[in-house]
Structure 1
Amino acid sequence: MLRVLEINESQDLSYVRSNWHRLWESTPGATFFQTLEWLQIYWKHFGEGKQLRVLLVLEGQCLVGVVPLVVVKEPTRLGKVNVLTYPLADWGTHFSVLAENPQLTLRRALQHIQEQPRDWDMIDLRWLAEEDMEVNLTSDAMADAGYSPNPGVWKETVFIDFEGTWDDYLRSRSPKMRSDIRRKLNKFDSTGRVHLERYRPQGKAANDCDPRWDLYSQATTIAEKSWQGHSTTGTTISHRHIRRYIKDCHVAATELGMLDLAMLYLDGKPIGFCYNYCSDGHIFGLRRGDAPEARELGLGTTLTAILIRDSFQRADKSLDMGPGSFEAKRRWMTRIATVGRMTHYPMLAPRAQILRLKHWWQSCRDRKTGRLRTALEGKQSPV
């Protein structure tokens, strides 16, 4: 018989750190954003005004699943709506429960939510992987718990799958792009003026957790000199609104062995960076930046090409380039992945019902006009 223990204070979760890590390791595709370390850092910096609801699912005295949830006030044209969702907040693209049996775990957790006083206007479980949507994992769990699941698309993200070899990948690009990449790589490889330093520590357990603040400082300096230095969104690594959060994550990712920081040098001078998180060969590209002179010399293409070539050599599995800027990313991608959502709109919550109609109308419009996947795949050059 499964039972649920709900935790509402992030510091109380430290007591289950080892079991959380055990479940993280047994969850396929688990990312840095599903670690307890990340959740506590996120809550420290962005928890104000939110309600933490982490559900620990136990069988007897054994922890068999973790379902991290948060109630967030989100502005709409109808006023603020309390949404029960995962805590990812668009820092990554995918999230899931931690468990060997995720559907059973999620069902029991949602039954617990059903039994408690409602402090939310709607449930909106976002950042679902395509595999989740294909097998109806979240949908069936919600239905079995007594909710009415409504599937939808949250975002779409671009992937590079490192299948085959670097040469195989090049052959899959358009002739023009293939020629451009080879020309630039041959030029810089022959002169030795450009080199890539890629720092991927093994973590504290392997006594390899130097944060390399020199590389971090170089990356933030480049970000400040690029368009990111003038950005007002507050999401770039050099922006003071999130700088402390990024630095705390940097330390945690280093100690967990999940940091992947690549720095491109021209004549010994740092000129471009890719700041990523990595787990089990799966890379998530958090941010990248190029110094102004890098763009003038076409080194943005060189940085991406060298990074991808290096990942093939390391036998990495995939690179999630993230949503947005699709026109710039499409020539590199091997596929587009849908990031799903599963929403429940309570019948007795009028604003949630109006939002249901709005989301339904948006999905109808998307089907009518064709989504990004169709548009970009239509532009892909033949192999």
Structure 2
Amino acid sequence: MSVIELNEIEGLKAYHADWNRLLAVTPGGNFFQSLDWLQVYWQHFHEKQYLRVLVIRDADEVTGIVPLCIQRLKTKFGSCRILTYPFDDWGSFYGPVSANPEKTLTAALNFIQQSQRDWDLIDLRCVDSNGFDDGATERALEAANLSLKKTSWNQTAYVDLSQNWDEYLAGRSGKARQTYLRSERRVEKEGEIEFLRYRPRGENFGESDPRWDLYEVCEEIARKSWQGDSTTGTTLSHENVAQYFRDTHESAARFGAADLNLLYVSGQPAAFIYNYVFQGLVFSLRMGFDPSVSNKGLGRLLMGRMLRNSMERGDRIYDIGPGSLDAKKYWYTSVENSYRYVHYSSVSKIAKVLQISNRIANWYRDRFSNDVVSQSQISSDFEHPTSQH
């Protein structure tokens, strides 16, 4: 096996076909792992990052791709360089693009150790170790003889779509069913309900129209919802990321990953859910409703209509997104964990300091419980300051 390293985003175009071919056979592959998404992400967020994409070849065939980058972060002990995925928590999970992620990542890690050491930490985040990854990342690190520290990173909520709507609704708690059905009745009293779903299959099928008219309706609803006053800088209509979302939407429409859902009441736009979809895995990016139309369950009604439609289409999983699990408790059928794997360079001074700091914090936590040091404090020494979630 051989490894080719690419450091310019333009140089990846030559591997577009291979990338798409491999993504189609990647366990749990998603739109965030596509070259199409990476190109837009890099266009908007490449500052203070250095691209290191590793292409794995077996004889004359490309068998795997590992997108990586170097990010320089400030810690309380000084500047630190981490080798990580170019992802920044925009979705739930990330990893190598390959039918055999373990073999691909092992080859990449061996190559990294033999190449110029431009990092202090290897920090692989958003790994679904118990899901589609199935331990591949951990085994690859061990096979490459890299010591590792595994910690919890985040949680996301899944809805199992491999059932019909009646079965799903029957499996919800009594309160959840009552809350949803009450929303159905209340909104129906407001006027005629129309559910619209736009999911173009992509340019390979002659369906790549981004339908800006529909997307702009989502933006307008977002501005009228709580998102209009949000200061997080990550909502659909926020000026800091609005252009990134628009560029990604156009890319997703070409790729066949855009999934736009709208609810109308008496012809008036009332609620939206915007997703990315790939091979039956649907990821919820943003959602919102217009309280001036109704405040009697518009979001719940749209969620129910959309889930039912996904079940009828044959989708497999709906990922409601990381965090805020309490707000999603009526919907999800399981909670999935993501993990981070950290390897400290043995020749980096800052890595040694951070490692010692982490050990001391862990000791205090174990000895004096969470009243003294929380897990978030332990990790804060080198967390990404611009993480999107």
Fold shared by both chains (TM-score > 0.5):
yes
Q: Quote the offset at 1:362 in angstroms.
A: 9.5
Q: Which moved more, 1:109-118 or 1:349-358?
A: 349-358
Amino acid paired to 1:262: N
Residues 1:329 and 1:91: Cα distance change in structure 2 (over 3 Å)? same
> Matches of residues 1-383 of structure 1 in structure 2 within 5 Å?
2-131=1-130, 135-186=134-185, 188=187, 193-294=192-293, 296-348=295-347, 349-354=351-356, 356-357=358-359, 360=362
In structure 2, stretches of 5+ residues that fail to align are 376-389
In 2, Cα distance between the equivalents of 1:327 and 1:276? 20
Determine if contact 1:142/1:149 at 8 Å carries over to the other structure.
yes
Residues 1:58 and 1:311: Cα distance change in structure 2 (over 3 Å)? same
Determine if contact 2:183/2:296 at 8 Å carries over to the other structure.
no
Provide, for residues 291-323 of structure 1, a one-character-per-residue CA deviation record: whole Å limited to 9, x for no partner. 123562221221222222222222211111111
Q: Quote the offset at 1:126 in angstroms.
A: 0.7
Give runs of ≥4 in structure 1 deviating > 3 Å: 130-135, 186-192, 358-366, 368-371
> Given the two structures, how large is their TM-score scaled by the length of structure 2?
0.89
Determine if contact 2:259/2:277 at 8 Å carries over to the other structure.
yes
Equivalent position of 2:386 in the other structure: none
Residues 1:134 and 1:286: Cα distance change in structure 2 (over 3 Å)? closer
In 2, Cα distance between the equivalents of 1:34 and 1:134? 14
Determine if contact 1:130/1:337 at 8 Å carries over to the other structure.
no
Q: Quote the offset at 1:361 in angstroms.
A: 5.8
Q: Quote the offset at 1:190 in angstroms.
A: 8.5
Q: Quote the offset at 1:29 in angstroms.
A: 1.5
Determine if contact 2:7/2:50 at 8 Å carries over to the other structure.
yes
In 1, Cα distance between the equivalents of 2:11 and 2:232? 32
In 2, Cα distance between the equivalents of 1:205 and 1:147? 41
Determine if contact 1:152/1:363 at 8 Å carries over to the other structure.
no
Residues 1:26 and 1:82: Cα distance change in structure 2 (over 3 Å)? same
Paired residue secondary structure (2:137): helix
In structure 1, stretches of 5+ residues that fail to align are 372-383
Q: How many residues align?
A: 369
Determine if contact 2:208/2:253 at 8 Å carries over to the other structure.
yes
Q: Quote the offset at 1:188 in angstroms.
A: 4.9
Paired residue secondary structure (1:293): coil
In 2, Cα distance between the equivalents of 1:5 and 1:54? 8
Amino acid paired to 1:350: K
In 2, Cα distance between the equivalents of 1:189 and 1:10? 50
Provide, for residues 116-174 of structure 1, a one-character-per-residue CA deviation record: whole Å limited to 9, x for no partner. 22111111111111336984311121122121022111101111111321111111112
Q: Which moved more, 1:306-315 or 1:281-290?
A: 306-315
In 1, Cα distance between the equivalents of 2:52 and 2:289? 39
Paired residue secondary structure (1:296): coil
Superposition RMSD in Å: 2.4
